[in-house]
Structure 1
């Protein structure tokens, strides 16, 4: 190709070096495309996630040998639930539906607590969708009514199980009661701030609620066919529950008024909740005020095992130390050597009560408050503050010993174990869902607190005393893997 042809850019000069395309090949390609269009789109194996499959597998194969659900079930199998089993009325050939094994319900709640699930409806859903919950049920259908009834109605049973476990650990030497730390945490109640009303408002609402109940009954009697029986019964039940809640709030009002008097406040300003009459407005950790309960936990410092649980509707910790100490002694049969609390606990009366109950065997380890300056002296600011560790006028012997004890540097190092123990246990409870109570009423709230204590102690038992769960060293491996 000459220079003139290259500049002209003729087609012959551009494609002379390319191979020629046969006319027959072009025709064949066109025919293939036409045939493909006549045959339709290509066939593809696409996913169909809505189809039902039948799989041949047993529940045992769904979980590994070191799964936490197996640990929970092994623990529940060793608890004495004979009282619940003996109360079951479905026996032999008697009429009635077979009852759900109480061990299933207990295991579901323990596993759900470790899994930060506190709703009966959510657990019922998980028994159909989660392999671990399905394994615990073992093919038994569970509804949320049975779950909620078990948790709300077995406060004393959970208390007995906690006592039996703690006593067994103490008698076996698996835990040490040389040092016990107590702390309280405010847990939000299932009641709104707007549900708190004074006496006049409560009485007015009670009268209105009673009129509503009477009106519903009259309408149902006058025209039985106006609505279905189920709807009528539901409306009447809701109105009666509303009336009962208001009546319970009025019954709680004298206690709130007495607390107002003790604090130097006006008793006529006392208010009670129409949602949860046992709830009280408390100062929370963030500085705000909300309806809450005061959950008290006593934990061994060395092993971090909860040995005492109490729930109150008093926002202050001032009167909680001596009753908790008595509870721990009753549960374990052992007198603790040292009792560690923060500055909100050591009222002089409580220190004296601890000394009297233990005959001086238990030492209270708590910070001594700074002395108050007298307001009637102008030159107090120029004087050095008095020594808070020296005995003051009016101090009893136990209080004077407490002041002198806290002056040493060694005891201050011991006191540091309080935060490392109590705050850690509180944080674990928060992480497991103890943020807001899912139930109403002091008894039901106490049952929830027992569940959290039992779940916590189960994991601690698997680590420090796996032989008590019947799993040898395998239980400690489970606890270490889940820690």
Structure 2
């Protein structure tokens, strides 16, 4: 009883110990206009043949039936919209939340199944992105002639202290190899069953450690090769970054890069291509290069590869102002692609005039950005910041998975969740 109650009051009190029967189905418990129903209807319209073809459970064969991929697809898409990014948290919600229980429809699912499906569906999600945007483009809803590109840094699942130099990696590799050999010898002596299982777990952990160190050593070689290639392209005798490279033993594909808050932490660079002014995401890529410079040609190539047509205009921020890219897109054999990005400025904030040796592509870029029409068109680039804000509000500031492919899969879930919201508004705004 709460404090402060006066004697003689007549109250309706909560009764939680009464046993009762509730005659209702899951479908009756969920409102007709609930978002879970909208997501399920959206997923039912997707082409999921690639997921169904991978199922090996068939009628007349032994084995447990597979969970319908449409159920798992709906579950993760709805969870992403509800700001839930943990497989364990989704599994807990499937036990007690009506909307998740409705999606499952009495299907039992573990957090391991959820986690595996989230990262293994990356290729299907990438294909579905191209299919959905192509359908909208053929219907005249989306215009692919103008594309805006912007990047977002994601915190990797690796600590700064996990980065090691070559000398230390060699030492760790030798220690790991010795431990693996020792554990294999102990396992071969055929101890008792319980000891054998314990030794097998220890051996697996040691082999995993050895594998991650080998991946880190391979990453070091890739970093050194990349620096040498950049120095050759810039006609330098030595790489600009003279620091000894380091690689992570937790996630060998993560790199130290500058984040949005100005700090330097392990992360990945996710690049989003959108169609202004509606802001629909039409392309996405993930890598470990912390710089945006030199990505304009790759942006055009991705759109052409996905949809079979080249954009005529590309909008980008000042981080993409590579004169090499601007000149190459201006003089491309398949047609000119006009780049719209801010002109470089000096320390006083004044726009730098073109240099004497600048080509026609750079000169045309200056003319576009100094014209009123160019400035008006460039204002549409700010529509690309809406997807970033939406994804960050839904928890996409870092990732719990490791490796570029798995990180891209997580990013694609957020891309489809955002596009779902945009597409659901299109009929009302058309």
Task: Give the structure-1-normalised TM-score.
Answer: 0.80
Shift of 1:103: 0.9
Asked if 2 retains the 8 angstrom alpha-carbon contact of 1:299 and 1:422, the reply is yes
After TM superposition, list the pairs within 5 Å mapping 1:392-431 onto structure 2. 392-419=355-382, 421-431=383-393
- Candidates 222, 227, 248, aligned match of 2:194: 227
Structure 1: state its 5+ residue gaps: 1-43, 373-380, 466-475, 478-483
Give the structure 1 partner of residue 5 of structure 2.
none
Which one has a bigger Cα radius of gyration? 1
Pick aligned residue for 2:65 from 91, 94, 98: 98
Q: Which residue of 2 aligns with 1:149?
A: 116
Are 1:281 and 2:256 counterparts?
A: yes
- Superposition RMSD in Å: 2.4
* 1:226 to 1:139, Cα distance in 2 relative to 1, 3 A: closer
Distance change (3 Å), C-alpha of 1:343 and 1:276: same
Q: How does 1:303-382 map to 2 (within 5 A)?
A: 303-357=278-332, 359-370=334-345
| Aligned equivalents of 1:300, 1:45: Cα separation in 2 | 57
405-414 or 122-131, larger mean C-alpha shift: 405-414
Distance 1:252 1:237 in 2: 22
CA distance in 1 between counterparts of 2:17 and 2:206 reads 44
Change (3 A) 1:358 1:145: farther
Q: What is residue 75 of structure 1 aligned with on the other side?
A: 42
Shift in Å, 1:360: 4.1
Q: Conserved in 2, the CA contact under 8 Å of 1:110 and 1:455? A: yes
Give the C-alpha shift of residue 353 in structure 1. 3.0
Structure 2 residues without counterparts, runs of 5 or longer: 1-10, 231-238
1:388 to 344, 349, 352: 352
Residues 74 and 103, structure 2, Cα contact 8 Å, conserved in 1: yes
Of stretches 45-54 and 345-354 in structure 1, the one that deviates more from structure 2 is 45-54
SS of the counterpart of 2:285?
Answer: strand
- Asked if structure 1 preserves the Cα contact closer than 8 Å seen for 2:277 and 2:380, the reply is no
Q: Give matches, 1:234-313, under 5 Å.
A: 234-261=201-228, 262=230, 264-266=240-242, 269-313=244-288
Q: 1:90 to 1:369 in 2, by over 3 A?
A: same
Q: Encode CA deviations 1:115-165: one digit per residue, 9 max, x unaligned.
A: 111111111111111111111111110111111111222221111100000
Matched, 1:454 2:429: no
2:168 matched residue in structure 1: 201
Shift in Å at residue 228 of structure 1?
5.1
After superposition, the Cα gap between the structure-2 partners of 1:61 and 1:437, relative to the gap in structure 1 and judged at 3 Å, is same
For these two proteins, the number of residue pairs brought into alignment is 410
- In 1, distance between residues paired with 2:263 and 2:134? 39
